[in-house]
Amino acid sequence: MLRSLRRFLCFSSPKSADPTDLATHGTDNVEDLIHLRPAGRTIAQARIANPCPEGVSSVQSRNRSVSPSSCDSSTQTESTNASDSETRATTVSTVTGTTSTLPDTPAKSISTSRLNTITAYTPILQSDGTLRAPQITFDGYGSYGGRFAPESIMGFLYELTSFFEAAVSDPSFWEEYATFQRARATPLHMAGNLTNLAGGATIWLKREDKNEYGSHKTRNIIGQVLLARRMGRSEIVTDCASAKHGKFTAAMCARLGLRCVVVIGADDASAQEEDVLEMKSLGAKVLTARTPSGMGSLRAAITEALRYAVCNHESAYYLMGSPVGPSPLPTLARTFQALLGEEVAAQMHEAVGCHPDALVTAVGSGSGAIGLFRPFLHDSYIRLIGVEAAKAATLTDGGLGVLQGARTLLLQNDDGQILDSHSISPDMNLSTVGPEVAHWKDSGRIEISTATDAVALDGFRILQRHEGILPGLDSSHAVAKTLDLARELGPGKNVVLLVTGCDKIGVPEDV
């Protein structure tokens, strides 16, 4: 079936990448250069606390301007067998200061805890386009999260917490941040044809595919790279699944004169061979990784990136590409990513004068969810819907465990061994999820559904044929749910779907 689709799916033909080549520098065979986005974009203030008045349909115009140390274990440069031995082990939690032992069997159902979102969200984005220092809090994770990490990295985590609190409270940090946020506000596009197809609520597309390299994680990457430089770190190490994230991180490091190490699953690297070459042309060192079971996916990349950071903790800064890992890493990600949801709030007020009635995004690790949903959590009338890959549905099928430094939900068997996941989208192919998103699901604040690979491909076709958009395979998972939701809500309501950039990957012919 896919043979007839390849002409518009922006997939490359599946080719195997040489692991040893992927781990070396290279500057040849690059398809395109870095394209910097133009500056200057008007944006409205994110009026997060105001509900939508009934019957408002007029457009409000708001034209406001925006202005190393050694380690006994070494990282292999070909294919690393990333260990998951920390999972479900007896560990020392520095949050409580006590030794915590997980249950012998995974918890399939968790008692509901209250969602800590009573206070209205205070936006960072101001009416004049400037960014204001936010009020930082490290709570909001319920029974999830924590800091389960080797002693050798504890000093870095404490130091990171201190530097983070100081940096985000400093107005000069946000002034510098604004100079690198070249993306402006990505467009909020009213999808007229998609709306007509659904025959219900108006569908809006948050066009993160318009970001540099099509990544929806740019806000987090910019913030953490600038924080790393303030800490005096000379090297950035990051994990990635879709190469969009790795390419933007490599580009930011090149601009700031920092070394960049990108760890990617071996299978993901083979499927994105051209993008790997582009990362290396931007100066990044690319390492590949596999799990003990042989999967070369995001889970292996995160574990190996953590290992690299431990082994080089005096010079390397771990830029977690997902809202996972030990505290304070998830808090850093949510702080910077929440600017995504703030943009949506401002743009919806400018377009229709009110908040959306529902927001939809695909959920892998939860990067899109923590950005899109967080500014709207306290507004209980706004529906927040996440869509998982059917064979990587951690929020649907997962149980409580510890992985990669935090307590969260995992796909695991009765013995606590982590199960392999699968998704046609590299970003969705993960056996765990960020602890904050797990807490939202536990509390009932967000709704979760699943989509198969076939449904995701249909979603891709729908956006391509009806709106002329080539989306990422992650956001393609959520298209069908968005259409169903629009029909359910009916005319006069508004639904926002997060759309990421297209993946240039090879896909098996039997999908």
Model confidence over 165-178: pLDDT tens digits? 999 999 999 999 99
Residue 143 predicted with pLDDT over 50: yes
CA-based nearest residue to 278, from 490, 12, 1, 30: 30
CA dihedral 257, 258, 261, 262 (to 10 degrees): -70
| pLDDT for residue 119 | 57
Task: Using a pLDDT cut of 90, give the percent of the chain over it.
Answer: 64
Q: Is 73 inside any structural domain?
A: no
Q: If we measure between CA atoms, which residue out of 267, 261, 257 comes closest to residue 246? A: 261
- pLDDT for residue 470 is more than 90: yes
| Tokens coding 103 | 């249950």
Residue 421 sits in a domain whose CATH number is 3.40.50.1100
What are the angstrom distances between the C-alpha of 366 and each of 25, 305, 370, 434, 460? 31, 18, 6, 6, 20
Whether residue 102 is contained in a domain is answered as no
Q: What is the pLDDT of residue 508?
A: 52
Q: DSSP letter at 455?
A: H
Peptide bond into 134 cis (omega under 30): no
What is the mean predicted confidence (pLDDT) over 113-128?
A: 69
* Strand 399-403 versus strand 406-410 pairing type: antiparallel
Q: For residue 183, what pLDDT is reported?
A: 52
pLDDT at position 484 is: 98
264 closest CA partner among 17, 13, 6, 12: 17
More confident residue, 504 or 220: 220
Instruction: Identify the pLDDT of residue 318.
Output: 94
Query: What pLDDT, on a 0 to 100 scale, did the predictor assign at position 316?
Result: 94
| Interhelix angle 151-168/218-230, nearest 10 degrees | 100
Q: What is the pLDDT of residue 182?
A: 63
The two tokens of residue 232 are 């005096």
Q: Would residue 40 be called left, alpha or beta, if left means φ above 0 and alpha means ψ between -120 and 50 degrees? A: left
In a 3-state reduction of DSSP, which class is residue 26? coil
Q: How far apart are the first and last CA of the chain?
A: 8
Q: Do the Cβ atoms of 466 and 192 come closer than 8 Å?
A: no
pLDDT at 454: 97
Question: Phi and psi for 159 in degrees, rounded to 5?
Answer: -60, -40
| Sequence letter at residue 237 | V
| Confidence label for 61 from pLDDT (cuts 50, 70 and 90) | very low
If you average pLDDT over residues 394-423, what whole number do you get? 94
In the sheet with 285-290, reading across from the earlier edge strand, the strands are 80-81, 285-290, 259-265, 235-240, 316-319
User: Residue 139: which pLDDT band, with cuts at 50, 70 and 90?
Assistant: confident
Contact 384, 447 (CB under 8 A): yes
- State the Cα–Cα distance between residues 70 and 311, nearest whole angstrom: 6
pLDDT at position 181, please? 76
* pLDDT(482) > 80: yes
Query: Is 428 in contact with 389 (CB distance < 8 Å)?
Result: yes
Tell me how far apart the alpha carbons of residues 471 and 461 are, in angstroms, rounded to a whole number: 9
- Spatial contact of 82 and 300, defined as CB atoms under 8 Å apart: yes
Residue 496 token pair:
């926002």
As given in the structure block, the two tokens for residue 223 are 């913030």
Q: What is the DSSP-derived secondary structure letter of residue 432?
A: B
Domain interval for residue 410 = 151-498
Least confident of 86-100, 285-299, 359-373: 86-100
Quick check: is 386 in a domain?
A: yes
pLDDT band at 15 (very low <50, low <70, confident <90, very high): very low
Q: Is residue 77 part of a domain?
A: no
Tell me the pLDDT tens digit for each residue of 412-429: 999 999 999 999 999 999
Quick one: average pLDDT of 61-76? 36
d(CA 134, CA 111): 31
474-506 in b/e form (b: 16+ CB < 10 A) is bbbbbbbbbbebbeebeeebbbbbbbbbbbbbb
| 399: enclosing H helix or E strand | strand 399-403
77 CB neighbour count, 10 Å cutoff = 15
Tokens of 498: 């997060």
pLDDT confidence of residue 243: 93
d(CA 146, CA 113): 16
| Number of domains within the chain | 1
Q: Where are the alpha helices (DSSP H) in 7-94?
A: 19-22
Task: State which amino acid sits at residue 140.
Answer: G
Query: Is 338 a domain residue?
Result: yes
Q: Are 394 and 432 in contact (CB under 8 A)?
A: yes
Over 90: is that where the pLDDT of 58 sits? no
Asked whether residue 385 is domain-assigned, the answer is: yes
* 436 within some domain: yes
Mean pLDDT of the chain: 80
How many Å apart are CA 347 and CA 207, to the nearest integer? 12
Per-residue pLDDT reduced to its tens digit, 311-356:
898 899 999 889 999 999 999 999 999 999 999 999 999 999 999 9
20 pLDDT band, cuts 50/70/90, is very low
The string of DSSP codes covering 213-250 is: GG-TTHHHHHHHHHHHHHTT--EEEEEESSHHHHHHHH
Q: What is the pLDDT of residue 46?
A: 40
In a domain, 118, yes or no: no
One-character DSSP codes across 273-341: HHHHHHHHHTT-EEEEEE-TTS--SHHHHHHHHHHHHHHTTTTEEEE-SSS-SSTTHHHHHHHHHHHHH
